[in-house]
Structure 1
Amino acid sequence: MHNLLTDIAGVRVGHADDAELASGVTAVVFDRPAVAAMDVRGGAPGTREGGLLDLVNMVERIDAIALSGGSAFGLEAGGGVQAWLAEQGRGFQARSAIVPIVPGAICFDLLNGGNKKWGRFAPYRDLGYVAAAAAGTSFALGSVGAGLGANTANLKGGLGSASAQTPDGVKVAALAVVNAVGTVTVGDGPWFWAAPFEVDDEYGGRGLPAAFTPDMLKMRVKGGPAATPSENTTLAVVVTDAVLTKNQAKRLAMMAQTGFARAIYPVHAPTDGDVVFAASTGGRQIDPLIGLTELGMVAANVMARAIARGIYAATALAVPGALPSWRDRFG
Protein backbone atom coordinates (compact mmCIF):
# COMPACT_ATOMS: atom_id res chain seq x y z
CA MET A 1 0.00 0.00 0.00
CA HIS A 2 1.41 3.37 -1.07
CA ASN A 3 -1.51 5.50 0.14
CA LEU A 4 -2.59 6.18 -3.45
CA LEU A 5 -5.59 5.44 -5.65
CA THR A 6 -3.39 3.02 -7.58
CA ASP A 7 -3.19 0.71 -4.56
CA ILE A 8 -6.27 -0.78 -6.22
CA ALA A 9 -4.98 -3.24 -8.80
CA GLY A 10 -5.86 -2.34 -12.37
CA VAL A 11 -6.03 1.43 -11.77
CA ARG A 12 -3.56 3.91 -13.24
CA VAL A 13 -3.34 7.71 -12.91
CA GLY A 14 -1.67 10.26 -15.16
CA HIS A 15 -1.28 14.05 -15.09
CA ALA A 16 -0.72 16.70 -17.73
CA ASP A 17 -0.50 20.39 -16.93
CA ASP A 18 0.87 23.72 -18.14
CA ALA A 19 2.55 26.12 -15.70
CA GLU A 20 1.83 29.19 -17.86
CA LEU A 21 -1.80 28.16 -18.20
CA ALA A 22 -1.92 27.34 -14.45
CA SER A 23 -4.28 24.48 -15.19
CA GLY A 24 -4.24 20.83 -16.12
CA VAL A 25 -5.86 17.42 -16.41
CA THR A 26 -5.74 14.18 -14.46
CA ALA A 27 -6.79 10.88 -16.06
CA VAL A 28 -7.83 7.80 -14.09
CA VAL A 29 -7.51 4.82 -16.43
CA PHE A 30 -8.83 1.32 -15.71
CA ASP A 31 -6.99 -1.66 -17.17
CA ARG A 32 -10.37 -3.34 -17.63
CA PRO A 33 -13.81 -1.67 -17.77
CA ALA A 34 -14.99 -0.87 -14.23
CA VAL A 35 -18.53 -0.72 -12.85
CA ALA A 36 -19.17 2.94 -11.99
CA ALA A 37 -21.67 5.48 -10.72
CA MET A 38 -21.63 9.15 -9.75
CA ASP A 39 -23.02 11.32 -6.94
CA VAL A 40 -23.30 15.10 -7.26
CA ARG A 41 -23.82 17.28 -4.16
CA GLY A 42 -22.55 20.70 -5.22
CA GLY A 43 -24.89 23.32 -6.62
CA ALA A 44 -22.84 24.20 -9.72
CA PRO A 45 -21.52 20.98 -11.28
CA GLY A 46 -19.85 20.53 -14.65
CA THR A 47 -19.83 16.91 -15.80
CA ARG A 48 -19.39 14.77 -18.90
CA GLU A 49 -21.40 11.56 -19.48
CA GLY A 50 -23.38 12.12 -16.28
CA GLY A 51 -26.52 10.76 -17.92
CA LEU A 52 -24.74 7.53 -18.85
CA LEU A 53 -23.96 6.92 -15.17
CA ASP A 54 -27.62 7.25 -14.14
CA LEU A 55 -28.77 3.98 -12.60
CA VAL A 56 -31.63 3.55 -15.09
CA ASN A 57 -29.33 3.66 -18.11
CA MET A 58 -27.74 0.79 -20.00
CA VAL A 59 -23.96 1.15 -19.81
CA GLU A 60 -22.55 -0.08 -16.49
CA ARG A 61 -18.81 -0.03 -17.05
CA ILE A 62 -16.38 2.74 -17.92
CA ASP A 63 -12.84 2.83 -19.29
CA ALA A 64 -11.50 5.98 -17.65
CA ILE A 65 -12.39 9.20 -15.82
CA ALA A 66 -11.19 12.66 -16.88
CA LEU A 67 -10.78 15.36 -14.21
CA SER A 68 -9.87 18.84 -15.40
CA GLY A 69 -9.49 22.50 -14.64
CA GLY A 70 -10.74 25.03 -17.13
CA SER A 71 -14.40 25.18 -16.13
CA ALA A 72 -16.66 24.13 -19.04
CA PHE A 73 -13.72 24.35 -21.45
CA GLY A 74 -12.12 21.50 -19.52
CA LEU A 75 -14.88 19.07 -20.44
CA GLU A 76 -12.93 18.57 -23.68
CA ALA A 77 -10.29 16.71 -21.65
CA GLY A 78 -12.50 13.64 -21.82
CA GLY A 79 -12.16 13.65 -25.60
CA GLY A 80 -8.38 13.50 -25.32
CA VAL A 81 -8.54 10.58 -22.89
CA GLN A 82 -11.06 8.93 -25.21
CA ALA A 83 -8.74 9.39 -28.21
CA TRP A 84 -5.87 7.66 -26.41
CA LEU A 85 -8.11 4.76 -25.39
CA ALA A 86 -9.39 4.43 -28.95
CA GLU A 87 -5.82 4.05 -30.17
CA GLN A 88 -5.46 1.16 -27.72
CA GLY A 89 -8.61 -0.50 -29.09
CA ARG A 90 -10.42 0.09 -25.78
CA GLY A 91 -14.11 0.81 -25.42
CA PHE A 92 -17.73 -0.27 -25.50
CA GLN A 93 -18.31 -2.50 -28.52
CA ALA A 94 -21.41 -2.06 -30.65
CA ARG A 95 -21.00 -4.51 -33.53
CA SER A 96 -17.93 -3.22 -35.41
CA ALA A 97 -17.79 0.12 -33.57
CA ILE A 98 -15.75 0.66 -30.41
CA VAL A 99 -16.50 3.67 -28.20
CA PRO A 100 -14.33 4.39 -25.13
CA ILE A 101 -16.53 5.40 -22.18
CA VAL A 102 -14.97 8.36 -20.34
CA PRO A 103 -17.08 10.28 -17.81
CA GLY A 104 -15.51 13.40 -16.39
CA ALA A 105 -15.90 16.55 -14.34
CA ILE A 106 -14.33 20.00 -14.19
CA CYS A 107 -13.45 22.67 -11.66
CA PHE A 108 -13.17 26.41 -12.20
CA ASP A 109 -9.62 27.80 -12.21
CA LEU A 110 -9.96 30.56 -14.82
CA LEU A 111 -9.21 33.41 -12.39
CA ASN A 112 -6.04 32.07 -10.74
CA GLY A 113 -3.59 34.30 -12.61
CA GLY A 114 -2.60 31.87 -15.34
CA ASN A 115 -2.65 32.80 -19.03
CA LYS A 116 -6.02 31.60 -20.34
CA LYS A 117 -5.76 33.41 -23.70
CA TRP A 118 -5.41 30.18 -25.65
CA GLY A 119 -6.97 31.33 -28.92
CA ARG A 120 -9.77 29.57 -30.74
CA PHE A 121 -9.56 26.17 -29.07
CA ALA A 122 -8.80 25.39 -25.43
CA PRO A 123 -5.86 23.03 -24.77
CA TYR A 124 -7.72 20.55 -22.58
CA ARG A 125 -8.32 17.85 -25.21
CA ASP A 126 -4.57 17.63 -25.87
CA LEU A 127 -3.83 17.68 -22.14
CA GLY A 128 -6.31 14.85 -21.65
CA TYR A 129 -4.51 12.74 -24.25
CA VAL A 130 -1.12 13.36 -22.62
CA ALA A 131 -2.52 12.57 -19.16
CA ALA A 132 -3.96 9.25 -20.33
CA ALA A 133 -0.74 8.30 -22.11
CA ALA A 134 1.22 9.09 -18.93
CA ALA A 135 -1.01 7.02 -16.62
CA GLY A 136 0.88 4.69 -14.32
CA THR A 137 0.84 3.20 -10.85
CA SER A 138 2.88 6.04 -9.30
CA PHE A 139 1.79 9.67 -9.49
CA ALA A 140 2.47 13.01 -7.83
CA LEU A 141 0.26 14.85 -5.34
CA GLY A 142 -0.28 18.56 -4.77
CA SER A 143 -0.16 21.19 -7.51
CA VAL A 144 -0.23 18.82 -10.47
CA GLY A 145 -2.68 17.77 -13.14
CA ALA A 146 -6.22 18.93 -12.49
CA GLY A 147 -5.03 20.27 -9.13
CA LEU A 148 -2.40 22.64 -10.55
CA GLY A 149 -4.69 25.66 -10.64
CA ALA A 150 -6.89 24.80 -7.66
CA ASN A 151 -7.41 27.13 -4.70
CA THR A 152 -9.49 27.11 -1.51
CA ALA A 153 -10.78 30.10 0.45
CA ASN A 154 -7.49 30.64 2.31
CA LEU A 155 -4.77 28.38 0.88
CA LYS A 156 -3.54 26.88 -2.37
CA GLY A 157 -5.60 23.86 -3.36
CA GLY A 158 -4.31 20.70 -4.96
CA LEU A 159 -4.69 17.01 -5.70
CA GLY A 160 -4.55 14.40 -2.94
CA SER A 161 -4.97 10.66 -2.58
CA ALA A 162 -5.22 8.07 0.19
CA SER A 163 -6.04 4.39 0.62
CA ALA A 164 -7.07 1.86 3.28
CA GLN A 165 -8.34 -1.67 3.81
CA THR A 166 -11.32 -3.00 5.70
CA PRO A 167 -10.62 -5.60 8.43
CA ASP A 168 -11.50 -8.26 5.83
CA GLY A 169 -8.84 -6.97 3.46
CA VAL A 170 -11.07 -5.20 0.94
CA LYS A 171 -9.22 -2.19 -0.44
CA VAL A 172 -10.68 1.26 -1.05
CA ALA A 173 -8.84 4.37 -2.21
CA ALA A 174 -9.68 7.94 -3.16
CA LEU A 175 -8.30 10.76 -5.27
CA ALA A 176 -9.52 14.35 -4.83
CA VAL A 177 -8.98 17.63 -6.68
CA VAL A 178 -9.59 20.29 -4.04
CA ASN A 179 -10.76 23.66 -5.39
CA ALA A 180 -13.41 24.22 -2.71
CA VAL A 181 -15.24 27.46 -1.94
CA GLY A 182 -14.57 26.81 1.76
CA THR A 183 -11.51 25.89 3.82
CA VAL A 184 -9.76 22.60 4.55
CA THR A 185 -8.02 24.05 7.62
CA VAL A 186 -9.49 25.38 10.86
CA GLY A 187 -9.57 29.17 11.19
CA ASP A 188 -6.18 30.79 10.65
CA GLY A 189 -4.25 27.84 12.06
CA PRO A 190 -2.48 24.78 10.67
CA TRP A 191 -5.07 22.24 11.80
CA PHE A 192 -6.99 20.21 9.23
CA TRP A 193 -10.69 19.59 9.71
CA ALA A 194 -9.87 15.98 8.74
CA ALA A 195 -7.34 15.61 11.59
CA PRO A 196 -9.22 12.80 13.43
CA PHE A 197 -8.79 10.54 10.40
CA GLU A 198 -5.08 11.17 9.76
CA VAL A 199 -2.78 8.15 9.42
CA ASP A 200 0.98 8.28 10.15
CA ASP A 201 1.19 12.11 10.13
CA GLU A 202 0.34 12.09 6.41
CA TYR A 203 -0.68 15.77 6.56
CA GLY A 204 1.59 17.10 9.24
CA GLY A 205 0.27 15.51 12.43
CA ARG A 206 -0.97 18.82 13.86
CA GLY A 207 -4.19 17.38 15.30
CA LEU A 208 -7.05 19.72 16.22
CA PRO A 209 -6.97 22.93 18.31
CA ALA A 210 -7.55 22.53 22.04
CA ALA A 211 -10.85 24.40 21.66
CA PHE A 212 -12.91 25.88 18.85
CA THR A 213 -13.49 29.62 19.06
CA PRO A 214 -16.33 31.47 17.31
CA ASP A 215 -13.76 32.95 14.92
CA MET A 216 -12.64 29.47 13.88
CA LEU A 217 -16.22 28.48 13.13
CA LYS A 218 -17.19 31.54 11.11
CA MET A 219 -17.66 31.12 7.38
CA ARG A 220 -14.62 31.74 5.18
CA VAL A 221 -15.40 31.42 1.47
CA LYS A 222 -13.50 32.13 -1.70
CA GLY A 223 -14.38 35.56 -3.04
CA GLY A 224 -16.30 36.49 0.13
CA PRO A 225 -19.66 38.16 -0.63
CA ALA A 226 -18.63 38.31 -4.31
CA ALA A 227 -18.43 34.50 -4.65
CA THR A 228 -19.97 33.29 -7.91
CA PRO A 229 -21.51 29.91 -8.77
CA SER A 230 -18.66 28.72 -10.96
CA GLU A 231 -15.44 29.53 -9.13
CA ASN A 232 -15.04 26.35 -7.11
CA THR A 233 -15.61 22.57 -6.85
CA THR A 234 -14.00 19.47 -5.37
CA LEU A 235 -13.78 16.52 -7.75
CA ALA A 236 -13.19 13.01 -6.42
CA VAL A 237 -12.85 9.38 -7.44
CA VAL A 238 -13.23 6.47 -5.03
CA VAL A 239 -12.31 2.96 -6.21
CA THR A 240 -12.56 -0.44 -4.53
CA ASP A 241 -11.60 -3.99 -5.39
CA ALA A 242 -14.92 -5.19 -3.98
CA VAL A 243 -17.46 -6.63 -6.42
CA LEU A 244 -20.22 -4.02 -6.73
CA THR A 245 -23.27 -3.52 -8.89
CA LYS A 246 -23.92 -0.10 -10.42
CA ASN A 247 -26.50 0.57 -7.66
CA GLN A 248 -23.99 -0.35 -4.98
CA ALA A 249 -21.36 1.87 -6.59
CA LYS A 250 -23.84 4.74 -6.37
CA ARG A 251 -24.31 4.05 -2.65
CA LEU A 252 -20.52 3.98 -2.19
CA ALA A 253 -20.24 7.38 -3.90
CA MET A 254 -22.97 8.78 -1.64
CA MET A 255 -21.27 7.50 1.51
CA ALA A 256 -17.88 8.75 0.33
CA GLN A 257 -19.34 12.26 0.08
CA THR A 258 -19.38 12.20 3.89
CA GLY A 259 -15.61 12.57 3.65
CA PHE A 260 -16.13 15.97 2.01
CA ALA A 261 -18.10 17.08 5.07
CA ARG A 262 -15.32 15.87 7.38
CA ALA A 263 -12.63 17.77 5.48
CA ILE A 264 -14.14 20.96 4.00
CA TYR A 265 -15.98 23.80 5.79
CA PRO A 266 -18.51 24.75 4.43
CA VAL A 267 -19.17 22.11 1.79
CA HIS A 268 -21.71 21.20 -0.93
CA ALA A 269 -22.50 24.88 -1.34
CA PRO A 270 -24.50 26.53 -4.13
CA THR A 271 -21.17 27.80 -5.46
CA ASP A 272 -19.49 24.36 -5.50
CA GLY A 273 -19.85 21.62 -8.10
CA ASP A 274 -18.81 18.76 -5.81
CA VAL A 275 -18.92 15.34 -7.44
CA VAL A 276 -17.75 11.83 -6.53
CA PHE A 277 -17.25 9.04 -9.05
CA ALA A 278 -17.24 5.55 -7.52
CA ALA A 279 -15.85 2.54 -9.37
CA SER A 280 -15.38 -1.15 -8.71
CA THR A 281 -12.64 -3.23 -10.30
CA GLY A 282 -14.41 -6.33 -8.99
CA GLY A 283 -12.31 -8.93 -7.23
CA ARG A 284 -13.54 -9.50 -3.69
CA GLN A 285 -17.07 -10.42 -2.67
CA ILE A 286 -18.67 -8.47 0.19
CA ASP A 287 -21.93 -8.73 2.10
CA PRO A 288 -24.42 -6.42 0.31
CA LEU A 289 -25.58 -4.83 3.57
CA ILE A 290 -23.02 -4.93 6.39
CA GLY A 291 -20.08 -5.28 4.01
CA LEU A 292 -21.15 -2.32 1.88
CA THR A 293 -21.85 -0.26 5.01
CA GLU A 294 -18.34 -0.89 6.32
CA LEU A 295 -16.83 -0.19 2.91
CA GLY A 296 -18.66 3.14 2.70
CA MET A 297 -17.54 4.06 6.21
CA VAL A 298 -13.89 3.47 5.34
CA ALA A 299 -14.32 5.23 1.98
CA ALA A 300 -15.54 8.38 3.74
CA ASN A 301 -12.47 8.35 6.00
CA VAL A 302 -10.17 7.82 3.01
CA MET A 303 -11.85 10.66 1.13
CA ALA A 304 -11.31 13.09 4.02
CA ARG A 305 -7.63 12.11 4.14
CA ALA A 306 -7.20 12.52 0.38
CA ILE A 307 -8.64 16.05 0.55
CA ALA A 308 -6.32 17.07 3.38
CA ARG A 309 -3.30 15.56 1.62
CA GLY A 310 -4.08 17.61 -1.48
CA ILE A 311 -3.73 20.84 0.51
CA TYR A 312 -0.73 19.61 2.50
CA ALA A 313 1.21 18.71 -0.67
CA ALA A 314 0.30 21.82 -2.69
CA THR A 315 2.73 24.54 -3.78
CA ALA A 316 1.79 28.15 -4.57
CA LEU A 317 1.41 29.30 -8.14
CA ALA A 318 4.19 31.52 -9.47
CA VAL A 319 1.84 34.40 -10.29
CA PRO A 320 1.27 37.80 -8.63
CA GLY A 321 -1.15 37.63 -5.72
CA ALA A 322 -1.17 33.84 -5.56
CA LEU A 323 -2.53 32.23 -2.41
CA PRO A 324 0.14 30.72 -0.15
CA SER A 325 0.43 26.97 0.27
CA TRP A 326 -0.03 25.24 3.63
CA ARG A 327 3.75 24.74 3.78
CA ASP A 328 4.35 28.44 3.05
CA ARG A 329 2.20 29.34 6.02
CA PHE A 330 3.04 26.63 8.51
CA GLY A 331 6.27 24.94 7.39
Structure 2
Amino acid sequence: MVKEDGTILAGNRDENKKFKVFEDTTEFVTNSKMNTTITIVGTNVDLKTRENYERLAHMATHGQVRAINPVHTSVDGDTVFVFSTEEIKSPLNSFGKYFETPDWPLFTVDVVGNTAAKAVQESIYDACYKAETIQFEGAYKGIVPSTKDI
Protein backbone atom coordinates (compact mmCIF):
# COMPACT_ATOMS: atom_id res chain seq x y z
CA MET A 1 0.00 0.00 0.00
CA VAL A 2 1.38 3.37 -0.99
CA LYS A 3 0.43 6.56 0.86
CA GLU A 4 -0.29 9.83 -0.97
CA ASP A 5 3.22 11.09 -0.23
CA GLY A 6 4.74 7.99 -1.88
CA THR A 7 5.85 6.25 1.31
CA ILE A 8 4.88 2.65 1.85
CA LEU A 9 2.08 2.03 4.33
CA ALA A 10 1.87 -1.78 4.22
CA GLY A 11 3.20 -4.67 2.16
CA ASN A 12 5.65 -7.55 1.99
CA ARG A 13 8.76 -7.16 4.14
CA ASP A 14 12.13 -8.85 4.41
CA GLU A 15 13.79 -10.06 7.63
CA ASN A 16 14.85 -6.48 8.49
CA LYS A 17 11.25 -5.18 8.22
CA LYS A 18 12.22 -3.38 5.02
CA PHE A 19 9.48 -3.37 2.39
CA LYS A 20 10.10 -5.44 -0.72
CA VAL A 21 9.40 -4.09 -4.18
CA PHE A 22 7.09 -5.97 -6.54
CA GLU A 23 9.96 -7.47 -8.52
CA ASP A 24 11.27 -9.15 -5.34
CA THR A 25 7.93 -10.80 -4.59
CA THR A 26 6.96 -12.05 -8.05
CA GLU A 27 7.14 -15.74 -7.14
CA PHE A 28 4.97 -15.28 -4.04
CA VAL A 29 2.46 -13.07 -5.83
CA THR A 30 2.05 -15.37 -8.83
CA ASN A 31 1.78 -18.54 -6.74
CA SER A 32 -0.29 -17.41 -3.77
CA LYS A 33 -3.35 -15.85 -5.44
CA MET A 34 -3.92 -13.95 -2.17
CA ASN A 35 -3.72 -10.38 -3.42
CA THR A 36 -7.30 -9.49 -4.26
CA THR A 37 -8.93 -6.21 -3.29
CA ILE A 38 -12.70 -6.07 -3.68
CA THR A 39 -14.33 -2.66 -3.37
CA ILE A 40 -18.01 -1.76 -3.19
CA VAL A 41 -19.09 1.80 -3.91
CA GLY A 42 -22.61 2.93 -3.09
CA THR A 43 -24.33 6.18 -4.00
CA ASN A 44 -27.82 7.63 -3.85
CA VAL A 45 -27.48 9.44 -7.20
CA ASP A 46 -29.43 8.15 -10.20
CA LEU A 47 -26.89 7.90 -13.03
CA LYS A 48 -29.57 6.90 -15.56
CA THR A 49 -27.75 4.31 -17.71
CA ARG A 50 -25.73 1.14 -17.35
CA GLU A 51 -22.87 2.85 -19.18
CA ASN A 52 -22.76 5.60 -16.57
CA TYR A 53 -22.55 3.04 -13.75
CA GLU A 54 -19.77 1.25 -15.63
CA ARG A 55 -17.95 4.58 -15.97
CA LEU A 56 -18.40 5.18 -12.23
CA ALA A 57 -16.89 1.76 -11.46
CA HIS A 58 -13.99 2.47 -13.79
CA MET A 59 -13.34 5.85 -12.17
CA ALA A 60 -13.55 4.32 -8.68
CA THR A 61 -10.76 1.87 -9.58
CA HIS A 62 -8.44 4.88 -9.62
CA GLY A 63 -8.65 4.82 -5.83
CA GLN A 64 -7.17 1.32 -5.89
CA VAL A 65 -4.49 2.47 -8.32
CA ARG A 66 -3.54 5.37 -6.04
CA ALA A 67 -3.26 3.17 -2.95
CA ILE A 68 -2.07 -0.28 -4.10
CA ASN A 69 1.11 -1.25 -5.94
CA PRO A 70 0.96 -3.58 -7.79
CA VAL A 71 -2.72 -3.51 -8.63
CA HIS A 72 -4.86 -5.16 -11.32
CA THR A 73 -2.27 -7.80 -12.21
CA SER A 74 -3.19 -10.88 -14.20
CA VAL A 75 -3.10 -13.07 -11.07
CA ASP A 76 -5.31 -11.08 -8.72
CA GLY A 77 -9.00 -10.29 -8.66
CA ASP A 78 -8.95 -6.57 -7.90
CA THR A 79 -12.35 -5.20 -8.81
CA VAL A 80 -14.94 -2.55 -7.97
CA PHE A 81 -18.70 -3.06 -7.74
CA VAL A 82 -21.11 -0.11 -7.68
CA PHE A 83 -24.74 0.28 -6.72
CA SER A 84 -27.18 3.13 -6.31
CA THR A 85 -30.43 3.62 -4.44
CA GLU A 86 -31.25 6.20 -7.16
CA GLU A 87 -32.94 8.53 -4.66
CA ILE A 88 -31.49 11.73 -6.15
CA LYS A 89 -32.54 12.23 -9.76
CA SER A 90 -30.86 15.50 -10.79
CA PRO A 91 -28.31 16.50 -8.15
CA LEU A 92 -26.67 19.28 -10.15
CA ASN A 93 -29.80 21.08 -11.40
CA SER A 94 -29.59 23.56 -8.53
CA PHE A 95 -26.38 24.90 -10.11
CA GLY A 96 -28.13 26.34 -13.15
CA LYS A 97 -29.48 25.69 -16.62
CA TYR A 98 -26.21 24.20 -17.89
CA PHE A 99 -26.87 21.10 -15.81
CA GLU A 100 -30.50 20.83 -16.92
CA THR A 101 -29.46 19.73 -20.42
CA PRO A 102 -29.74 16.08 -21.49
CA ASP A 103 -25.97 15.79 -21.03
CA TRP A 104 -26.00 16.51 -17.28
CA PRO A 105 -25.48 12.85 -16.25
CA LEU A 106 -22.01 12.85 -17.80
CA PHE A 107 -20.79 15.62 -15.52
CA THR A 108 -22.59 14.02 -12.59
CA VAL A 109 -20.72 10.78 -13.25
CA ASP A 110 -17.45 12.74 -13.24
CA VAL A 111 -18.29 14.33 -9.89
CA VAL A 112 -19.48 11.08 -8.30
CA GLY A 113 -16.61 9.12 -9.89
CA ASN A 114 -13.88 11.42 -8.60
CA THR A 115 -15.45 11.40 -5.15
CA ALA A 116 -15.68 7.61 -5.25
CA ALA A 117 -12.00 7.28 -6.24
CA LYS A 118 -10.96 9.39 -3.26
CA ALA A 119 -13.25 7.39 -0.94
CA VAL A 120 -11.83 4.09 -2.23
CA GLN A 121 -8.26 5.32 -1.68
CA GLU A 122 -9.07 6.50 1.86
CA SER A 123 -10.91 3.26 2.70
CA ILE A 124 -7.83 1.23 1.74
CA TYR A 125 -5.64 3.41 3.98
CA ASP A 126 -8.20 3.11 6.77
CA ALA A 127 -8.17 -0.69 6.47
CA CYS A 128 -4.36 -0.69 6.77
CA TYR A 129 -4.43 1.55 9.85
CA LYS A 130 -7.09 -0.56 11.56
CA ALA A 131 -5.61 -3.97 10.70
CA GLU A 132 -4.24 -6.16 13.47
CA THR A 133 -1.18 -8.40 13.29
CA ILE A 134 -2.20 -12.03 12.73
CA GLN A 135 -0.49 -15.40 12.88
CA PHE A 136 -0.34 -17.05 9.46
CA GLU A 137 1.81 -20.07 8.69
CA GLY A 138 2.33 -19.09 5.04
CA ALA A 139 3.65 -15.63 5.94
CA TYR A 140 7.25 -14.61 6.52
CA LYS A 141 8.20 -15.80 10.04
CA GLY A 142 4.60 -16.94 10.53
CA ILE A 143 2.96 -13.54 10.98
CA VAL A 144 1.29 -10.88 8.88
CA PRO A 145 2.23 -7.67 10.72
CA SER A 146 -0.05 -4.67 10.79
CA THR A 147 1.05 -1.08 10.19
CA LYS A 148 1.05 -0.69 13.98
CA ASP A 149 4.03 -3.07 14.19
CA ILE A 150 6.27 -1.28 11.72
TM-score, normalised with respect to structure 2 = 0.70
Distance in 1, matches of 2:75 and 2:145, equals 22
Q: Distance in 2 between matches of 1:319 and 1:265?
A: 22
Do 1:233 and 1:273's aligned partners in 2 also have CA atoms closer than 8 Å?
yes
Please show how residues 200-219 of structure 1 align to structure 2 within 5 Å. Answer: 219=21
* Residue identity (%): 33
Residue in structure 1 matched with residue 86 of structure 2 by the alignment? 282
* Residue 305 (str. 1) matches residue 118 (str. 2): no
Partner deviation per Cα, 1:177-215 (whole Å, 9 max, x = no partner): xxxxxxx03xxxxxx2xx3xxxxxxxxxxx556xxxxxx
Task: List aligned pairs for 1:129-140, cutoff 5 A.
Answer: none
Once the two structures are TM-superposed, the CA of residue 312 in structure 1 deviates from its matched residue by 0.9
Q: State the TM-score, normalizing by the size of structure 1.
A: 0.33
Q: CA deviation at 1:228?
A: 2.1
CA 291–319 in structure 1, closer or farther in 2 if over 3 Å, else same: closer
Aligned to 1:293: 110
- 1:235 pairs, out of 5, 30, 38, with 38
| 8 Å CA contact retained: 1:221, 1:227 | no
Shift of 1:265: 1.2
AA aligned to 2:146 is: S
- Structure 2, gaps ≥5 residues long: 8-17, 91-103
Pick the structure with more helix per residue. Answer: 2
Where structure 1 has 5 or more consecutive residues not aligned to the other structure, the ranges are 1-183, 186-191, 196-206, 210-215
Distance 1:221 1:310 in 2: 24
Does the CA contact (< 8 Å) of 2:60 and 2:117 recur in 1?
A: yes
After superposition, what is the alpha-carbon deviation per residue over 1:43-80, rounded to whole angstroms, capped at 9, x for unaligned?
xxxxxxxxxxxxxxxxxxxxxxxxxxxxxxxxxxxxxx
Where does residue 131 of structure 2 map in the other structure?
314
**Is the contact made by 1:238 and 1:299 (CA closer than 8 Å) also made in structure 2?**
yes
Distance 1:305 1:233 in 2: 17
Q: 2:62 aligns with which of 254, 258, 276?
A: 258
Residue 82 of structure 2 aligns to a residue whose secondary structure is strand
CA distance in 2, matches of 1:221, 1:233: 18
The CA distance in 2 between the partners of 1:247 and 1:270, in whole Å, is 24
* SS class of match (2:75): coil
Higher strand share: 1
**1:237, 1:267 → 2: CA distance?**
16
Q: Write the distance in 2 (CA, Å) between the matches of 1:288 and 1:294.
A: 10
Separation of aligned partners in 2, 1:289 and 1:246: 12
Aligned-partner SS, 1:327: helix
Residues 136 and 144, structure 2, Cα contact 8 Å, conserved in 1:
no
Q: CA deviation at 1:240?
A: 0.4
Q: Quote the Cα distance in structure 2 between the aligned partners of 1:324 and 1:222.
A: 18
1:188-199 mapped onto 2 (5 Å cutoff):
192=3, 195=4
